[in-house]
Structure 1
């Protein structure tokens, strides 16, 4: 499989999963804003790891992650309908924590900068 084909499949599945989460999952407990940040499909197209970023309180994050993980069958069925693939990959939902890490690093840099300005 050519590398560019894998990237195209990743993007197509990312668009479809994002649309499914935003418009088709009708769970009233899903109150946090959910954003699909990345999708990694294995070379044999058997698994699709979907990375989501969830904006809200900690309780909303854990609830939203539980809801998304329980609806992987529905998400897979929607991928099968909308993306033309011979084999529909098994969906794995993972929490993307890069924003949290970036915010933590930014706060550390701010503290360092404040300490440097206080020393002068």
Structure 2
């Protein structure tokens, strides 16, 4: 179970990462729409796992690869935004959130 501090930092990071992805999507991610679905922070606040959804879903592995390459730049932009609230900016790890694909698949199966 996450502490209140972890939850607050998770929400802050999610909001700021979403804003960064919105502004940088044209240059970094080949014009794909990237949204941050959830951010989980470890108890020591040293690592943040960000789950992202990519639309359109074609080439999402390539977009994830570009995001991981741009990780230092993204962390730097994040640090400038939340540097006053956090003493140490957590390391970022990005994962694809496929829950929307799963929901779509279940919906399609139920409507057959």
* TM-score range normalised by the length of the shorter chain: 0.7 to 0.9
Secondary structure of 2:89 counterpart: coil
Segments of 5+ residues of structure 2 without an aligned counterpart are none
Match of 1:115 in 2: none
Match of 1:71 in 2: 70
Q: 1:26 to 1:108 in 2, by over 3 A?
A: closer
Secondary structure of 2:92 counterpart: strand
Match of 2:15 in 1: 15
Secondary structure of 1:58 counterpart: coil
TM-score, normalised to structure 1's length? 0.82
Match of 1:35 in 2: 35
Task: List 4+ stretches of structure 1 deviating above 2 A.
Answer: 24-29
Q: Is the 8 A contact 2:48 2:92 kept in 1?
A: yes
Q: 1:4 to 1:45 in 2, by over 3 A?
A: same
Segments of 5+ residues of structure 1 without an aligned counterpart are 112-120
CA deviation after TM superposition for structure 1 residue 45, in Å: 0.8
Structure 1 or 2, whichever has the larger Rg, is 1
Q: Is the 8 A contact 2:37 2:52 kept in 1?
A: yes
CA RMSD of aligned residues (A): 1.7
